[in-house]
Structure 1
């Protein structure tokens, strides 16, 4: 990832419910600067009680205001309700049809460039996004709502990918700390709260997912009538298969006559020129082992 100087004058806009959004300012342009991302990585790595990063102004406030409005427009039947001794929350169902502003937000955070940005911040590369928003999407807590101190799920419930991190963006203007609802980050060893994050409008929180990444807002909310605690959440994954397993995987396989030796040789040269030396050497070793096993 490198910083790119774009033309100063651009006229790219999108209108949602009568409000015009400049497509070139929906996200902080520093997201495209690898040096900026790596500087955030120092804060992320040194955060306590576990790796996390709190940012302000990452997204255009006008976009977030439209996203917040769409909670009220979201179909009642598409909310999943969680009511247990430990939690009382509402989340949009995976794959639910979101409003245009919400869909725009998630198209940004699930884009290739944004995943690359997060990779430079966290030093976890080749992140896989989830367009179905399993566990993510719209999150809302209403009066009396809470979410006990917990660690997030370690695997995607449908495809088994490893859950590496979660990113939350809060949508609550004029939040009063007296209402509760601060996200508490706990030290797993001492079992105490180390820091709190207020769910203020425009605050984005990135958290590494590990067995000790304890967090939650465990105390019932006490808000005025008509207020809710709202956020949007997205999870990022990796494939836990080893490099050897990936190299053994089958690529596209066509049914046709074998290519002439000259064509095979040219294809091999092309593959070697594009493949990193370490992967090429590993592929050669695996091929020799497979051949030896067949001959034996």
Structure 2
């Protein structure tokens, strides 16, 4: 049947010729996604490394409980591997911070840790580091903290320097308990009191706080001398001597203080003040040297 066409005219539809295969339009291709370049040495993030390593160590711990002694080597091997993995992720030592120590003590403390730059931080035995630090003479006690990703913090309580002690040809700085601080250079503590004699180091903490309460006496004292490991002599800067008793040192110093308040004896000068008898204060004045007479050295 002829096809009806609007407008009254008829046209015969022409068959559409087949296009050659080559003439077909190829479907448009989407451009392939370009992969981001992988940074050299990039791996998992430090956070993911930490989480994964904790999980691995937990599984290893369970394995040790199940296998007994056979798991010990596994623990060691995995621990080394984890340590290196953390190092690759950036957990390497870059800085050591020492808190609570003086500038003189800090180098000795850092040296005692035995750590080195770029050492894997999580492999450090903090307890061993703490014990090593507490072997340093400056240190009374220490605390060691690992501050991720790259810092080791060492907080110490430094021993207080009390005096410089001389005996047997040796000169040492001692602390508030009378214990030597071997690393301290006595020459760098010119303001500390000088203590001389056998037993002086151990006994100095008992008398120096009492002397410190009498600054007028302390500023004139050259040395605190231990006599026969029984009692003290105060050797003054002008060469005079104050002899203290074996017991009752504080009371004797009180007597001396009262005498000075009345007569200003510390300013007038004397050869010797004997306070060994609590009932009698014996003062030997300094003898005047006649004009033109020489005095032998040490007389």
- Range into which the TM-score falls when normalised by the shorter chain: under 0.3
TM-score between the two structures when normalised by the length of structure 1 = 0.19
More strand by share: 1
TM-score between the two structures when normalised by the length of structure 2 = 0.19
Between structure 1 and structure 2, the one with the greater Rg is: 2
Q: Does 1 or 2 have the higher relative contact order (CA < 8 Å, sep 6+)?
A: 1
